[in-house]
Amino acid sequence: MTAGRTVGDVGERAVLAELIGAVEQPPDAGDITVVGTGDDAAVFAATGETAISTDTIVEGRHFRLDLSSPRQIGARSVVQSAADVAAMGARVIGVVVSIAVPPSTAVEVVTEINQGIAAAARDLGAAVLGGDLVAARQIVITVTALGAMDGLRPVLIGGARPGDTLAVSGPLGASAAGLAVLLSGRPELRERFAEFVSAFRVPHPDLAQGVVAARAGARAMTDISDGLIEELITVADRSGVQVAVDTSAVPRPAALAVAAAELGLDETDWVLTGGEDHQLLAAFELPGQVPGGWTVVGEVRPRPTGPDGRGVLVDDAPVGAVRGWQSFGPGT
């Protein structure tokens, strides 16, 4: 295609042909794909129960093109949808994608978004099964992720019980720190804390840990997309329990405190409310069930009754008005 032309100039069918031709499926995609991307619908061979989840990101709300490249935005959209499937204890096997863009959007922007989607799916061992391209006033990307349960019982958010041990699959706070660095307007910090900037642009949680946790007997699980506090509130409310977390036990990147000091911010806020790390939070009946590499951060208690029946305690104090990401609050 000619460089500099827009989606409106080229047309939907020509752009779709470019997107389809650019997708390289993982070697084992043929094991599940009967009819792949490029036809009216994909057909895949499910083996037992299948988990499915969909997620949408909107320009100006969830991402900005001055903070992330189109390729990074595409990859990020896959990770956050796939994390929901992993949180059920499923193995991610495929994604279906819808991309909406203004007609004035350069073709290269769309192809780069597609490259990011394809790369992220390939890293997860998933096939890109198909999708859609439509016109809109701003860029909107919707990814539907599919996962195979492989005979495992789905792990629900509301399965935590008093006496359970709470654990997370990886460090928290990196994505929030990266956004703060980008918004600081200080280029030298972007280089110094490049790992955090990268974590914001494209999180890289080990989503295979969802299957690991399910096999270990996790009784509740969710991904940390809206911040640890928000996920704890959801687990507590859905399970009818109280959850208590020790802030000092929550794993975080080594340089997080240094970055916070440089920006005059509190690293604990990033850890508790930042979100978008997409690590997994799970409850296990016994401490010995917590998989290697996971970190114990707290415990599940009976929910108190009456006016003091709060669901979440942090360092034995109620969280009060502290919250994480709100879908209808201010955007990025």
If one counts every other C-beta atom within 10 angstroms of the C-beta of residue 245, the result is: 23
Segments of 202-287 assigned E as strands: 220-223, 241-245, 280-284
Residue among 80, 29, 68 nearest 204 (CA):
80
pLDDT digit string, tens, across residues 44-102: 776 689 999 999 999 998 999 999 999 999 999 999 999 999 999 999 999 999 999 99
Eight-state DSSP code of residue 325: -
Identify the bridge partners of residue 147 per DSSP, sorted by sequence position.
Answer: 51, 92
Q: Say whether pLDDT at 279 is over 70.
A: yes
pLDDT digit string, tens, across residues 211-224: 999 999 999 999 99
pLDDT bracket for residue 232 (50, 70, 90): very high
Q: Say whether pLDDT at 190 is over 50.
A: yes
Q: Say whether pLDDT at 329 is over 90.
A: no
Eight-state DSSP code of residue 125: T
Q: Say whether pLDDT at 258 is over 60.
A: yes
Judge if pTM exceeds 0.95.
no
